[in-house]
């Protein structure tokens, strides 16, 4: 059943009832008519939400009623999101400094606020629901990082930090910035994160799990839709200004996207389980790759890339 809730609604009690597909469809709509950087800024003004408005008590009750093996199944995906939000918050400052236009810079400052808010949101969930809290946020993140798989760490911790450092050292090097936006906005947020959020939110909605988490993640996904559209707009503008950047974007895709999609691939155990349930084990990586194709087409890249070969549907 479709739920008619305004796209700019900021009431957490209603956000948890918005199907995640509704938020993701708004990205496809924006790809048809790309908003300007100023329009993205105005969208940010209309879509504000506060982490402190979210009451995690219902999620706490559900968590405490779970068996330890059930809890373990939910921790790892949430660890990737928590650490990921902290990483992108830390990495964004060089991008703000390096973008060549003030309208771009104004929007990116709103994105940094978003990423900080997302980090605080997941920190609250880990502290108040899961019970992982080492005092200082940095210390908690060190614990959470150990719960991530290697593919996630290689993209979120290692690759993103490396690109951000290069942009910081050479803020006038547009090629490094183009590589960074491809990694940050298109691969991490627009491919890996949105596909993972879609899968988790559908699962939690079907199982009626974590209503407060769903509310926050719906708002978070809506925030990231703005970030992704910024990335598409930026790369399209850069490629139109200098077609030589096509090789930079293509090299970044070939370097980083396979590892990002690897984070979405199911384990052998999960494949067997989902096939027995007559479900598609590869729907998350398939969605990620199809979503990436759409964005690349709008950017101005219609080529097929070697890593983009999703398994056949069962």
pLDDT reading at 114 higher than 80: yes
Show the tokens assigned to 223.
């925030």
Predicted confidence at residue 214, as pLDDT, reads: 93
Predicted confidence at residue 124, as pLDDT, reads: 96
8 A C-beta contact, residue 26 and residue 180: no
Predicted confidence at residue 2, as pLDDT, reads: 37
Reported as a single tens digit per residue, the pLDDT across 80-107 is 999 999 999 999 999 999 999 999 999 9
Fold of 20-49+62-299: Ribonucleotide Reductase, subunit A (1.10.620)
Mean pLDDT for the stretch of residues 15-38: 87
The confidence band for 3, taking pLDDT boundaries of 50, 70 and 90, is very low
Reported as a single tens digit per residue, the pLDDT across 261-309 is 988 887 777 767 666 766 777 788 888 999 999 999 999 997 676 655 5
pLDDT reading at 64 higher than 90: yes
pLDDT reading at 15 higher than 80: no
Q: How far is Cα 255 from Cα 180, in angstroms, rounded to an integer?
A: 12
Predicted confidence at residue 203, as pLDDT, reads: 87
pLDDT reading at 120 higher than 50: yes
Predicted confidence at residue 284, as pLDDT, reads: 85
Reported as a single tens digit per residue, the pLDDT across 168-182 is 999 999 999 999 999
Mean pLDDT of the chain: 89
- Look-up: residue for tokens 């809890």? 71
Q: How far is Cα 299 from Cα 184, in angstroms, rounded to an integer?
A: 15
- For 54, list phi and psi in degrees, rounded to 5: -95, 125
Predicted confidence at residue 14, as pLDDT, reads: 74
Reported as a single tens digit per residue, the pLDDT across 180-212 is 999 999 999 999 999 999 999 988 988 899 999
Least confident of 52-61, 65-74, 90-99, 277-286: 277-286
- Look-up: residue for tokens 């496809």? 28
8 A C-beta contact, residue 198 and residue 284: yes
Predicted confidence at residue 22, as pLDDT, reads: 84
Torsion (CA) 28, 264, 278, 313 in degrees, nearest 10: 60
- For 131, list phi and psi in degrees, rounded to 5: 90, 20
Domain residue ranges in the chain: 20-49+62-299
Reported as a single tens digit per residue, the pLDDT across 202-255 is 889 888 999 999 999 999 999 999 999 999 999 999 999 999 999 999 999 999
């Amino acid at each position: 059943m479709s739920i008619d809730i305004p796209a700019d609604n900021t009431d957490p009690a209603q956000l948890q009832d918005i199907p995640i597909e509704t938020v993701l469809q708004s990205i496809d709509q924006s790809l048809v008519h790309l908003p300007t950087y100023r329009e993205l800024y105005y969208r940010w003004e209309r879509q504000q939400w506060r982490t402190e408005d979210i009451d995690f008590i219902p999620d706490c009750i559900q968590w405490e009623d779970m068996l330890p093996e059930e809890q373990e199944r939910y921790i790892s995906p949430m660890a990737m999101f928590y650490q990921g939000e902290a990483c992108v918050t830390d990495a964004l400052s060089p991008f703000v400094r390096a973008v060549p236009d003030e309208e771009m810079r104004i929007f990116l400052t709103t994105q940094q606020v978003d990423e900080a808010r997302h980090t605080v949101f997941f920190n609250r969930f880990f502290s108040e629901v899961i019970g992982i809290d080492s005092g200082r946020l940095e210390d908690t993140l060190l614990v959470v990082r150990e719960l991530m798989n290697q593919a996630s760490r290689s993209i979120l911790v290692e690759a993103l930090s490396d690109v951000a450092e290069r942009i910081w050292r050479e803020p006038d090097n547009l090629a490094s910035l183009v590589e960074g936006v491809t990694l940050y906005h298109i691969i991490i947020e627009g491919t890996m994160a949105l596909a993972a959020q879609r899968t988790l939110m559908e699962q939690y909605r079907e199982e009626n799990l974590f209503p407060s988490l769903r509310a926050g993640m719906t708002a978070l996904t809506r925030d990231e839709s703005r970030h992704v559209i910024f990335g598409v707009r930026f790369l399209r503008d850069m490629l139109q200004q200098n077609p030589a950047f096509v090789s930079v974007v293509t090299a970044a895709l070939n370097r980083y996207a396979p590892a990002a999609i690897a984070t979405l691939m199911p384990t052998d155990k999960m494949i067997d389980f989902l096939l027995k349930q007559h479900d598609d084990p590869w729907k998350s990586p398939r969605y990620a790759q199809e979503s990436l194709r759409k964005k690349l087409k709008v950017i101005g890249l219609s080529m097929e890339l070697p890593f983009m070969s999703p398994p056949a549907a069962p």
